[in-house]
Amino acid sequence: MKKAGLIICLLLLIGCKSKTISRDTEDLKIKKVSTAEVNANQQKKAYDLGKRVLETCNTSKFKPFNETEVTSTVMENTTEERLTKTCTKFRQYYGNFIDLKLDGVYKTKQEVIYRYHALYSKKVANKELRVFVNEENLISAIKSMDWDEKFDAKITEQ
């Protein structure tokens, strides 16, 4: 009986062996670029849409995105209900949203990432907003996270 248990454990161990996945590392490379190297209209669009999302917390009114601004995934995930839930928490902890300050622009093979420091009325607020723009000049993701002076590329892998 003990031998059968040992054999089953060994088979499970072998069966659960992790596999090596090969990735094209070129797709994941992220390089910082100057703001002069990016399209000014794209930069304005990223700022305006990022600000529009965070200003919802101050006004409680959200103007829905359209298909010329964002991808269908972003449109589906950015609902008034989700924003209201997030905004309630943000207003409680961070106060009113003031503005976005561009910290850097990063490029991958498929996207441009705009990294903003989100400014709030309470001094304890230390948040960041990342706006991802794809090759079709559509916002493909908007992420809010705690601010870190160092840009962590691992968080941006999608």
Q: Interior CA angle at 82 toward 96 and 108, to 5°?
A: 85
For the cut 70, the answer to whether the pLDDT of residue 8 exceeds it is no
Q: What is the pLDDT of residues 39-97, one digit of tens each?
A: 889 999 999 999 999 998 888 888 888 999 999 999 998 888 888 888 888 889 999 99
Q: What is the DSSP letter of 21?
A: -
Q: In the prediction, which pLDDT does 156 show?
A: 41
Comparing 89 with 8, the larger pLDDT belongs to: 89
Residue 20's pLDDT is: 55
CB 105 within 8 A of CB 138: no
In this predicted structure, the answer to whether residue 9 has a pLDDT above a threshold of 70 is no
What is the C-alpha separation between 35 and 50, in angstroms, rounded?
17
More confident residue, 47 or 27: 47
What confidence score (pLDDT) does residue 6 get? 52
Q: What percent of the chain has pLDDT above 90? A: 40
Q: What's the mean pLDDT when you consider all of the chain?
A: 82
Determine what percent of the chain is predicted with pLDDT higher than 70: 78
pLDDT, mean of residues 113-118: 94
- CATH number 3.10.450 is the correct assignment for the domain at 32-148: yes
Looking at the whole model, is its pTM more than 0.85?
no
As given in the structure block, the two tokens for residue 88 are 């309630």
Q: What is the mean pLDDT of residues 101-129?
A: 92
Of 119, 132, 133, which is closest to residue 57 (Cα–Cα)?
A: 119
The full set of domain ranges for the chain reads: 32-148
Tabulate helix, strand, coil % of the chain (nearest 5): 40, 25, 35
